[in-house]
Structure 1
């Protein structure tokens, strides 16, 4: 019996087969779960193409987490496909290029980053909640927001808001039996990472700082942590951030 046998999961953020979200979906299927993916706009065809590399065929539903109509209709569109949900994976982040220059960023750039990368966690959880009548798990992906990282700038601020949002979700969804946790992954060479100017600074130094070492091309360790948090093996854990970064978060300079 697989770790996620019988679970029904919604996974966002599958763009490439190198992404953490792709490996979460793959592992979930291998562990017995039924999976539905989301995408929107021009990326729909990309997600549909990449989804064919999963062990089992999946449906891809349209969802832009900044689109109110998409969110309000998500449950009714998902129900005929999957019936109910036991878990949701938030693997979404976006910031305009201007948000990566901290002192010069405009509010328009910053507000876009906060909406897509922080508020969207609450929006997605609320949209999925009607299908999680028997409880379940919301799992999001973050990049440790305790520090002012080089080049990350307003996306780092958005991630701090994202992590705070997770704690408030844990408070408000706990009575419904819904656990809300995050995985703080080290740098992975994904589509999102490539859009951040100077992100190679992390890639070049992380392995040297990680006591366990770190492979920027390997998304599987972070995906396994997500799968574990989606399972029944963490029944009393919520509001938590699990670090999957080779141990860098625990080290001094």
Structure 2
């Protein structure tokens, strides 16, 4: 029996089969879970196509985390497909190109990055909460925000806000027996990474700095960590950031 046997999971962010979210969905199905995916707008057809590469083709529902109506109706629309949710994967991030220039980024650019990449964790968790029983799990993906990384700029600030949001969610959802944790993955060649100008700077040095080494083309280690946190194997862990980066976070320069 798989570690996610009988679980019902909502997974966001499946755009390509190279994405961490895709591999979380794949592992979840292999471990016995029922999976529902989200997408919206022009990317719906892309997600529906990629979904057919999973062991079982899941339902894809529309969810734009910047659309309050989508959030308000999420639970009712999910009830058409599942009778509850045991876990949610937040794999959502976006910043306009202007946000990748720290000194010149406008508030319009920055506020968009903060809404989509940080506030949406709270928004998604609250929207899913009516379907989550005790023991539910919210898991998000981050890129370690302790440092001022090259090229990351306002997206790095958004990730710092994201990590703080996770801690406050852990505080407020803990009494409802819902856990909230993040996986801080090393750089992976995903659609999101390709949208960041100069992201190859991370790729060039990460393997050299990682004690365990690092493969920018392998999303599976991070996906396994997400699957474990969505399972019942971490019943007393919340507000945590689990690093899956080959050990870079623990090393000096």
How far is the alpha carbon of 1:83 from its aligned partner?
1.1
Q: How do 1:12-23 and structure 2 match up within 5 A?
A: 12-23=12-23
Number of the residue aligned with 1:246: 246
Q: How do 1:141-152 and structure 2 match up within 5 A?
A: 141-152=141-152
Which of structure 1's runs of 4+ aligned residues deviate more than 4 A?
none
Say whether the 8 Å CA contact 2:135–2:235 is kept in structure 1. no
Number of the residue aligned with 1:76: 76
* Residue-by-residue CA offset, 1:18-41 (whole Å, 9 max, x unaligned): 000000000000000000000000
Number of the residue aligned with 1:92: 92
Say whether the 8 Å CA contact 2:102–2:154 is kept in structure 1. yes
Say whether the 8 Å CA contact 2:36–2:60 is kept in structure 1. yes
Number of the residue aligned with 2:122: 122
How far is the alpha carbon of 1:57 from its aligned partner?
1.5
How far is the alpha carbon of 1:80 from its aligned partner?
1.5
How far is the alpha carbon of 1:135 from its aligned partner?
3.3
TM-score, scaled to structure 2: 1.00
TM-score, scaled to structure 1: 1.00
SS of equivalent to 1:82 = coil
Structure 2 gaps, min length 5? none
Number of the residue aligned with 1:192: 192
Number of the residue aligned with 2:111: 111
Structure 1 gaps, min length 5? none
Count of aligned pairs: 253
SS of equivalent to 2:217 = coil
How far is the alpha carbon of 1:215 from its aligned partner?
0.2
Residue 229 (str. 1) matches residue 222 (str. 2): no
Number of the residue aligned with 2:210: 210
How far is the alpha carbon of 1:174 from its aligned partner?
0.5
SS of equivalent to 1:103 = coil
How far is the alpha carbon of 1:111 from its aligned partner?
0.1
Q: Equivalents in 2 of 1:133, 1:4: separation in Å?
A: 15
Q: Equivalents in 2 of 1:60, 1:199: separation in Å?
A: 30
Number of the residue aligned with 1:27: 27
Q: Equivalents in 1 of 2:84, 2:123: separation in Å?
A: 18
Structure 1 vs Structure 2 CA RMSD: 0.4
Q: Equivalents in 2 of 1:236, 1:204: separation in Å?
A: 37
Q: Equivalents in 1 of 2:82, 2:100: separation in Å?
A: 39
How far is the alpha carbon of 1:204 from its aligned partner?
0.7
Number of the residue aligned with 1:164: 164
